[in-house]
């Protein structure tokens, strides 16, 4: 069989923050892909604002470098479990993977998740122990951990014969020896060329091209990114698109783009093994196959992880609706959600009985909160409900998603963490004492028990703990309440501006969420109660002036610093009877029913319905 010696296709996989994107930066720079005078941003692959701010990769992206007349296509994948849908599809497009592991942290939950996907696709691995320059780096132990993980995931003998490269992505150096570094990354390039299999050259056979990623732009519409598995595709060719529902559509290939560095360039034809972007098909979806009209042979469809969490998105109907956003109507919000479906295959949007509400399902809180954050930055106003897990019926049994949780904490917090996860129906699988005062705990916890847990976790470990989790499986639903918030809230009874005097009057009742001068409305949540019940408060109250001088007149009033929540914290904080109002300027928590008397009536009705 002929092979294409001039091409290699690899994916970079790793746990979040183990340095994949920085490593790709260095490979791009050192391969001579950029001109010497070209300005290249740090983490060049993370092009989205939120990716840059948070230092995480959200969307899988591809780039290509030229090294010694060989083109290396590199897919940079997300490390976060919520974007696992992106990782799975990439695996089908490549022949090998670079598994990047932090030289100090070692194997983490996402390392396990991404490696499992790669081994299932029978890909050839190269292990890169990155951040070798870190204090307390422990490369030998990390390599042992990686070998154990391969064995645990049933790797075959060939896969266990992986080469190991020790690298420092930030310094742009690599070596075969953990004790010293070469001055560049040549050893990594050479290992990729020697070890990753070249694709088969089947350009003379009938075409098979499968879409793994979607892109969209206003000029050419929908763009399918994928791999030519067989044959040749050229511009102007009439082809058949084998849809997932079994139907076949014909269309003409209007443009083909190849990847060179960070740019896409128009090319006239592509051969077996090439990773390309194709435009001309409006109705193309992930997993569909493009074939010649006279030789219709679809490839196996791609399996994409189902969503595990859902929220209701609602048109903003608070008293402050329309003040800050450009797009506030149900038509605009629905258009935006439908547009998101064009590129995000792990997302689902369902209509409800109300024309102003939609159920949006995703892979986790981060997945959904990033969609909400993008929408507010684009000028949308909306309200969202508390996230809830998606329950499935399997063989007549109600099942819920279970997450595998890995926790690294100082020894003294072990007891309180075990107790807190135990109360959330967590089951401990393993406990390892690393000997340096750090303990690693592994749990299986129902996904609903983890909603809102990160704030508790940070409090319990005083910020010294690290928690990571990834979807494990669906298991029979555990009875009773799991997790959730125990404290009640302070709810405003007035509309107006929060005053220093008003805040001081209620400070001893709990924690305040707003600063003096913040505009508030009746039914808005302005703080957390120290007890379990909700109470209504008036923090717009102003001190009445009198002509009597007070003995303490010259003492300045000092109020405690309010707790200002980020979007994720606000979503985690919600209860079933509350919404989070999201606008370009503000994130507000509110009760679904704003009026106190109506709220009490509704609560009585609900209690009555439950007891009868």
Please choose, from the candidates 192, 197, 134, the residue with its C-alpha nearest in 3D space to the C-alpha of residue 163.
192
Q: Any known ligand binding at 18? A: yes
Q: Any known ligand binding at 22? A: yes
Q: DSSP strand E in 434-520: where?
A: 438-446, 466-476, 489-492, 496-497, 510-512, 519-520
Q: Any known ligand binding at 249? A: no
Q: Any known ligand binding at 124? A: no
Strand-pair category, 208-217 with 221-230:
antiparallel
Q: Any known ligand binding at 133? A: yes
3-state secondary structure 240-299: EEECCCCCEEEEECCEEEEEEECEEEEECEEECCCEEEEECCCCCCCCCEEEECCCCCCC
Q: Any known ligand binding at 605? A: no
Q: How far apart are CA 583 and CA 586, in angstroms?
A: 5
Strand-pair category, 275-279 with 255-260:
antiparallel
Q: Any known ligand binding at 176? A: no
Q: Any known ligand binding at 194? A: no
Q: Determine the 3-state secondary structure of 509 from DSSP.
A: helix
Please choose, from the candidates 14, 21, 16, 20, the residue with its C-alpha nearest in 3D space to the C-alpha of residue 112.
14
Q: Any known ligand binding at 19? A: yes
Task: Please state whether 280 falls in left (phi above 0), alpha (psi between -120 and 50) or beta.
Answer: left
Cβ atoms of 312 and 353 within 8 Å: the answer is no
Instruction: Please give the biggest Cα pair distance in the chain.
Output: 99
Strand-pair category, 208-217 with 519-520:
unpaired
Q: How far apart are CA 327 and CA 309, in angstroms?
A: 25
For the packed helices 365-377 and 330-343, what is the interaxial angle rounded to 10 degrees? 130
For the packed helices 109-120 and 84-91, what is the interaxial angle rounded to 10 degrees? 30
Q: How far apart are CA 256 and CA 235, in angstroms?
A: 6
- Displacement of CA 347 from its chain's centroid (Å): 12
Extract the tokens encoding 402: 């279970």
Annotation: binding site: 17-22, 130-133
Annotation: binding site for GTP: 17-22, 130-133
């Amino acid at each position: 069989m002929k092979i294409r010696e001039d091409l290699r296709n690899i994916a970079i996989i790793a746990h979040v923050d183990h340095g994949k994107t920085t490593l790709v930066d260095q490979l791009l720079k050192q391969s001579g892909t950029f001109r010497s005078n070209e300005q290249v941003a740090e983490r060049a692959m993370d092009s989205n604002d939120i990716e840059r701010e948070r230092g995480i990769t959200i969307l899988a992206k591809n780039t290509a470098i030229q090294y010694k007349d060989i083109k290396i296509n590199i897919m940079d994948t997300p490390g976060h479990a919520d974007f696992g849908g992106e990782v799975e599809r990439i695996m089908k497009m490549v022949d090998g993977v670079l598994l990047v592991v932090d030289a100090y942290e070692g194997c983490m939950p996402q390392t396990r998740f991404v490696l499992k996907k790669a081994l299932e696709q029978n890909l050839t691995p190269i292990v890169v122990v990155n951040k070798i320059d870190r204090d307390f780096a422990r490369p030998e132990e990390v390599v042992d951990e990686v070998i154990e993980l391969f064995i645990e995931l049933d790797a075959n003998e060939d896969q266990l014969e992986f080469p190991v490269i020790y690298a420092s992505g930030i310094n742009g150096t690599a070596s075969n020896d953990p004790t010293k570094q070469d001055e560049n990354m040549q050893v990594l390039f050479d290992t990729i060329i020697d070890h990753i299999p070249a694709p088969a050259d089947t350009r003379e056979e009938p075409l098979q091209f499968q879409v793994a990623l979607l892109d969209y732009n206003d000029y050419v519409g929908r763009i399918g990114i994928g791999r030519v598995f067989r044959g040749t595709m050229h511009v102007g060719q009439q082809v058949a698109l084998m849809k997932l529902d079994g139907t076949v559509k014909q269309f003409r290939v209007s443009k083909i783009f190849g990847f060179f560095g960070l740019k896409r360039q128009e090319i006239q034809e592509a051969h077996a093994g090439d990773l390309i972007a194709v435009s001309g098909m409006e109705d193309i979806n992930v997993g569909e196959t493009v074939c010649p009209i006279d030789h219709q042979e679809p490839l196996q469809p791609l399996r994409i992880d189902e969503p595990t969490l859902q929220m209701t998105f609602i048109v903003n109907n608070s008293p402050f609706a329309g003040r800050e956003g450009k797009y506030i109507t149900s038509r605009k919000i629905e258009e935006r959600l439908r547009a998101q479906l064009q590129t995000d295959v792990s997302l689902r949007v369902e209509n409800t009985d109300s024309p102003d509400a939609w159920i949006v399902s995703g892979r986790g809180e981060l997945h959904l909160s990033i969609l909400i954050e993008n929408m507010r930055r684009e000028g949308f106003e909306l309200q969202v409900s508390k996230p809830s897990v998606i329950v499935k019926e399997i063989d007549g049994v109600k099942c819920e998603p279970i997450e595998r949780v890995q926790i690294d904490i100082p020894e003294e917090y072990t007891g309180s963490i075990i107790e807190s996860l135990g109360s959330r129906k967590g089951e401990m699988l393993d406990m390892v004492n690393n000997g340096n005062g750090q303990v690693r705990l592994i749990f299986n916890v129902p996904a609903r028990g983890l909603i809102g847990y990160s704030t508790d976790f940070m409090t319990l470990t005083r910020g010294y703990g690290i928690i990571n989790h990834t979807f494990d499986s669906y298991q029979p639903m555990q009875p009773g309440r799991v997790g959730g918030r125990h404290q009640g809230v302070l709810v405003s009874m007035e509309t107006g501006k929060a005053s220093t005097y008003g805040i001081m009057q209620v400070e001893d009742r709990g924690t305040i969420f707003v600063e003096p001068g913040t505009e508030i409305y009746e039914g808005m949540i302005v703080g957390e109660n120290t007890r379990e019940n909700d109470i209504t408060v008036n923090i717009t109250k102003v001190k009445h002036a009198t002509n009597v001088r007070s003995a303490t007149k010259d003492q300045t009033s000092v109020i405690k610093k309010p707790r200002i929540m980020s979007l994720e914290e606000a979503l985690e904080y919600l209860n079933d009877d509350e919404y989070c109002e999201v606008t370009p300027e503000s994130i507000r928590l509110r009760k679904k029913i704003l009026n106190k008397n109506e709220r009490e009536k509704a609560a009585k009705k609900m209690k009555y319905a439950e007891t009868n």
